[in-house]
Amino acid sequence: MLGDVRVRSQVGFEPERRSSHPYLCIDFRTLHTRLGCGSTSASSAPERRVHRLLSFQRYLHSSRLLRGVPQQIPLHILDEDYTGQARCMLEKVGNWNFDIFLFDRLTNGNSLITLTFHLLNQYGLVELYQLDMVKLWRFLVMVQEDYHSDNPYHNAVHAADVTQAMYCYMREPMLAKSLTSRDILLGLLAAATHDLDHPGVNQPFLIKTDHYLATLYRNTSVLENHHWKSAVGLLRETGLFSHLPAEDSLNMERELGSLILATDISRQNDYLSKFRLHLDQENLCLSNASHRHFLLQMALKCADICNPCRPWELSKQWSEKVTKEFFQQGDIEKKHKLEVSPLCDRVANTVGNIQIGFMTYVAEPLFAEWARFSDTRLSQTMLGHMGLNKASWSGLQQEQTSVSEEVEPSTAGTDVEDAAAQKDGNTGGTSSKEIPQGSRES
C-alpha cells in the first residue's frame, strides 16, 4: 500500500531522484542504520537497526539525532500569557473570522497540533476511540513536522486553517445532526493531513520532470495519493489505530484516502456535477453512510479552497501566499528551461487577476451549490465575503492599471518634449505643443 517508501542502507544518503530535478526531495523511505559499520573499534558494539517511515523533511531531523547531533529546535515551551491567549481563541474556534495566523503565533508555530488535538478532545473522540494520548500527540507532532515550513502556502498553517473550516462545516445543522463519531474523526484527520508532505509544486510539474511519484501514481492525483499514503504511513508508524480490529483500521485508512483524493482540483467538475445532480433531484439521504461520506468530501473540498470566503484581512494574506508559491514554481521552470505552468509566470500574472479568475471559475460555483445544500448564515457570510473580496481585487487591479497608464504617458511625454525643445533650438520653428500632437497621430 505504501508504494512510495524508499529503502536505504545507511544514514546520510543522498535522496533518490529518479530522473527528476535535484530540487525535489519528497520521497518516503525506510531507514536502516548500522552504527560503526566497517569500524573495528565499533564492531563490538551491539548492532542497532532503526526502521522508520520518514518523509524527507523529518529524515533530516532524525538523522541528526541518530548521529548524536543535538536538536536544533528546543522543546515547545510556551509562555503562560501566550498559552492563555491561545486558549481564549480556542473558545471561539467555531467562528468564521478565526485568525489562524494569530493562533499560530500564539502557539509558537504549533497551530495544527494544538487545534486538531483540541477538536478531537472536544468531540470526545479521544475517550470514545480509546486513543492513546502519547500515540496521538506523537502522530500530530509528526504530521505537523511533515508539512514543509518553507512552502509559502502548502504548509502546516494551511492545514490548520482547513481543519478549522472543516469544523465549522461539520457544525452546520444539516451535518451536525447526522454525522457519526466515525465521520467526525475521519473528517478532522483528513483535513489535518490533506496536503501532507506537499513539495510546493503542482502535479503538472511532477509529470513533466518525470518525478518518480508521477510514475508511481500513473499521473493521476499524484499529490493527493502521496498525501494519503503519507498519512497512512504515520498512522501505522505511531500505531494510533493499532488497538482497533484490523478490518476497522483498514477501512478507516481507505475512507481517509477517499476524502483526501476528493481535494484533487482537476476533478472539481466531477464532484460538482454529482453534487448539483443530488441537489436537483433532492435525493441526499443523510442516514445513508455513502451519502454522508460524499458530503464530507464536499465539505473538505470547500474547506480546502475557502480562502476567498474569509474576511479580507485573512483572505488577502492567503492570496499573496499561494501566488508566491506559484511564482516560485514558475521561476524554477524558467531556470531549467521548462514550459512555465499556467498562473506561475510572475511577469504575465498578478495576485489580483489570479484570484478573480479562481473565484469566478472555481470557488463561486462550488460555494453556490454548498449554499443550496446548507442555506445558513455561514453560507451567506462566505458568499458575501467572496463578493466583497472579488470587488476589492478588481479595485486594486484598476488602480494598478491606472497608475501604469499614468506613468507610461508621462515618461513618453517627457521624451517628446525634449525632442521638441531640441528641434525648436535648431529650427526656431514648430512649438513644443504641436510636436506631441503629431507624435500621437503617428
Q: Does 52 score more than 80 pLDDT?
A: no
Please give the pLDDT value at position 56. Answer: 52
Nearest partner of 342 among 237, 186, 204, 435, judged by Cα: 204
Please, which residues bridge with residue 7 across strands? 30
Contact 124, 33 (CB under 8 A): no
Query: Which residue from 395, 256, 255 is spatially nearest to 312, judged by alpha carbons?
Result: 395
3-state SS of the chain? CCCCEEEECCCCCCCCCCCCCCCCCCCEEEECCCCCCCCCCCCCCCCCCCCCEECHHHHHHHHHHHCCCCCCCCCCCCCHHHHHHHHHHHCCCCCCCCCHHHHHHHCCCCHHHHHHHHHHHHCCHHHHCCCCHHHHHHHHHHHHHCCCCCCCCCCHHHHHHHHHHHHHHHCCHHHHCCCCHHHHHHHHHHHHHCCCCCCCCCHHHHHHCCCHHHHHCCCCCHHHHHHHHHHHHHHHHHCCCCCCCHHHHHHHHHHHHHHHHCCCHHHHHHHHHHHHHHHHHCCCCCCCHHHHHHHHHHHHHHHHCCHHHCCHHHHHHHHHHHHHHHHHHHHHHHHCCCCCCCCCCCCCCCHHHHHHHHHHHHHHHHHHHHHHHCCCHHHHHHHHHHHHHHHHHHHHHHHHHHHHHHHHHHHHHHHHHHHHHHHHHHHCCCCCCHHHHHHHHC
Amino acid 400: pLDDT: 85
- Give residue 68's pLDDT band: very low, low, confident or very high (50, 70, 90): very low
Q: Are 234 and 143 in contact (CB under 8 A)?
A: yes
pTM of the model: 0.79
C-alpha cell read off for 442: 503617428
How far apart are alpha carbons 355 and 393 in whole angstroms? 8
Proportion of the chain above pLDDT 90, given as a percent? 71
- The cell 476524502 sits on which residue? 259
According to the model, what pLDDT value does residue 402 have?
80
Least confident interval from 64-73, 283-292, 295-304: 64-73
Q: What confidence score (pLDDT) does residue 401 get?
A: 82
Over residues 142-177, the pLDDT tens digits come to 999 999 999 999 999 999 999 999 999 999 999 999
- Rounded Cα distance, 23 and 178, in Å: 46
- Is the per-residue pLDDT at 51 higher than 60? no
pLDDT digits (tens, 9 = 90+) for 176-185: 999 999 999 9
Query: What pLDDT is attached to residue 71?
Result: 43
440 pLDDT more than 50: no
pLDDT at 14 over 80: no
pLDDT at 77: 45
Q: What percent of the chain has pLDDT over 70?
A: 73
Q: How confident is the model at residue 225 (pLDDT cuts 50, 70, 90)?
A: very high
Place 21 in a pLDDT band, splitting at 50, 70 and 90: very low
Residue 249 has pLDDT above 80, yes or no: yes
Catalytic residue ranges: 154
- The full length of the chain comes to 442
